[in-house]
């Protein structure tokens, strides 16, 4: 199989169709393209869980994994509460490096107001670099749970921040030496510093409180992948204006340098949102100091259309993320 996220058809055929057990307290279970699962607990409350491995970064891998996991929890409308950490460590790793990794993850958790509540760690010859997987845990009133299948035709489609942020940060840190052959050090540092925009918990909370119907974390597969997954979950079409999708100049130039498509580049830090009144959600996010933009609408039928300067073309199913062309 190809590197990257499993294709939707493979997931449905070889994963989804093998899952038969059902429980009445599972409010949202395993679904292709879903950010999280939700289970009913107590009176009127749900626990939300997510899983996020990081396989395409070496530097700050612990921080990226925690952020990715909590972003997925936030997409449900839940308040992140804790994380479980799984670390598979290579034999070449020493205790000082382990301590630094744990401190990095704990610092990120403290920023989010959550804590590491457990997990598993072992040293194994099966990996050559640390394999970090973080499971996020959150809680939300059941009637506030945001499901990606709740998008309806006519709703506005929004994005927070800019697309390709996570990929830009990873490439700036992992491929700094190559980038120096064209760009000055301050440019590379600015690209790496975009990491501060990757957490979108604040934006997700503002969106939930201002009428968002559904949210989806744009991670592997980029904004194209996230748009496809959100539309597929709800069985709706899309009409998206490509010129309205926000993108940083740093992302544009780094993607040009490596010959990558920024719309298919891992986009943690960009939350996809559907809402009946998109501008209301934008104002709520901006009031909290964030950024958001309306980029199109959900439509009837299954046509997912991308528009640029009057030209129209169809959105494709989720493809292998562009970052795997550079980092394996």
The mean per-residue pLDDT over the stretch 193-218 comes to 94
Q: All domains of the chain, ordered by start, with CATH?
A: 8-14+23-144 (3.30.1330.10), 148-325 (3.90.650.10)
At residue 328, the pLDDT reads: 66
Residue 32 has pLDDT above 70, yes or no: no
More confident call, 91 vs 42: 91
Q: Which residues contact 301 (CB under 8 A, 6 or more apart)?
A: 236, 237
pLDDT band of 35, cuts 50, 70, 90: confident
- pLDDT, tens digit, 9 for 90 and up, residues 269-283: 999 999 999 999 999
At residue 168, the pLDDT reads: 97
The mean per-residue pLDDT over the stretch 285-293 comes to 96
**Tokens 């626990």 belong to which residue?**
47
pLDDT band of 14, cuts 50, 70, 90: confident
Residue 4 has pLDDT above 70, yes or no: no
**Tokens 């107001």 belong to which residue?**
113
In the beta sheet, which residues pair with residue 304? 238
**In this structure, what are the phi and psi dihedrals at residue 129, rounded to the nearest 5 degrees?**
-140, 160
Share the mean pLDDT of the chain: 90
The mean per-residue pLDDT over the stretch 79-95 comes to 93
- pLDDT, tens digit, 9 for 90 and up, residues 115-161: 999 999 999 999 888 899 999 999 999 888 888 888 999 999 999 99
Residue 30 has pLDDT above 70, yes or no: no
More confident call, 295 vs 15: 295
Q: Flag whether the pTM goes above 0.85.
A: yes
Question: Beta strand pairing status for 79-89 and 45-54?
Answer: unpaired
Give a three-class secondary structure readout of the chain: CCCCCCCHHHHHHHCHHHCCCCCCCEEECCCCCCCCEEEEECCCEEEEEEEEEECCCCCCHHHHHHHHHHHHHHCCCCEEEEEEEEEEECCCCCHHHHHHHHHHHHHHHHHHCCEEEEEEEEECCCCCCCEEEEEEEEEEEHHHCCCHHHCCCCCEEEEECCECHHHHHHHHHHCHHHHCCCCCHHHHHHHHHHHHHCCCHHHHHHHHHCCEEEEEECCCCHHHHHHHHHHHHHCCEEEEEHHHCCECHHHHHHHHHHCCCHHHCCCCCCEEEEECCHHHHHHHHHHCCCCEEEEEEEECCCCEEEEECCEEEECCCCCCCHHHHCCC
Q: Which residues contact 249 (CB under 8 A, 6 or more apart)?
A: none
Residue 21 has pLDDT above 70, yes or no: no
The mean per-residue pLDDT over the stretch 254-262 comes to 97
At residue 11, the pLDDT reads: 63
Q: Which has the minimum average pLDDT: 35-39, 199-203, 258-262? A: 35-39
- pLDDT, tens digit, 9 for 90 and up, residues 174-205: 999 999 999 999 999 999 999 999 999 999 99
171-190 CB burial, b ≥16 within 10 A, e <16: bbbbbbeebeeebeeebbeb
- pLDDT, tens digit, 9 for 90 and up, residues 101-120: 999 999 999 999 999 999 99
CA atoms within 13 A on the CB side of 199: 16
CA distance 18 to 139: 28
CA distance 128 to 88: 10
pLDDT band of 239, cuts 50, 70, 90: very high
125-152 CB burial, b ≥16 within 10 A, e <16: eeeeebbbbbbbbbbbeeeebbbbebbe
């Amino acid at each position: 199989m190809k590197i990257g996220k499993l294709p939707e058809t493979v997931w449905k055929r070889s994963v989804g169709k093998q899952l038969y057990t059902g429980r009445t307290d599972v409010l949202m279970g395993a679904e292709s393209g879903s950010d999280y699962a939700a289970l009913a607990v107590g009176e009127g409350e749900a626990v939300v869980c997510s899983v996020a491995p990081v396989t395409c970064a070496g530097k700050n891998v612990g921080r990226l994994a925690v952020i990715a996991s909590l972003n997925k929890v936030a997409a449900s409308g839940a308040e992140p509460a804790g994380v479980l950490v799984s670390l598979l460590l290579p034999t070449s790793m020493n205790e000082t490096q382990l301590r630094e990794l744990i401190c990095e993850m704990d610092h990120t958790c403290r920023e989010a107001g959550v804590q590491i509540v457990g997990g598993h760690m072992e040293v194994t010859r099966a990996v050559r670099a640390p394999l970090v997987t973080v499971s996020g845990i959150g809680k939300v009133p059941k009637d506030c749970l945001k499901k990606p299948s709740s998008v309806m035709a006519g709703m506005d489609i929004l994005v927070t921040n800019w697309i390709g942020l996570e990929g830009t940060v990873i490439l700036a840190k992992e491929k700094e030496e190559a980038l120096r052959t064209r760009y000055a050090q301050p440019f590379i540092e600015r690209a790496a510093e975009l990491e501060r925009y990757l957490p979108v918990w604040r934006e997700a909370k503002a969106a939930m409180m201002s009428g968002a119907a559904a949210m989806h974390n744009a991670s592997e597969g980029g904004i194209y992948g996230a748009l496809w997954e959100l539309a597929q979950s709800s069985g709706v079409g899309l009409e998206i204006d490509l010129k309205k999708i926000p993108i940083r100049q740093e992302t544009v130039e780094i993607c040009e340098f490596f010959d990558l498509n920024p719309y298919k580049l891992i986009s943690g830090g960009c939350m996809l949102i559907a809402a009946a009144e998109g501008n209301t959600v934008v104002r709520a996010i901006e009031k909290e100091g964030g950024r958001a933009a309306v980029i199109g609408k959900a439509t009837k039928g299954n046509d997912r259309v991308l528009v640029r300067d009057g030209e129209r073309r169809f959105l494709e199913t989720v493809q292998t993320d562009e970052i795997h062309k550079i980092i394996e």
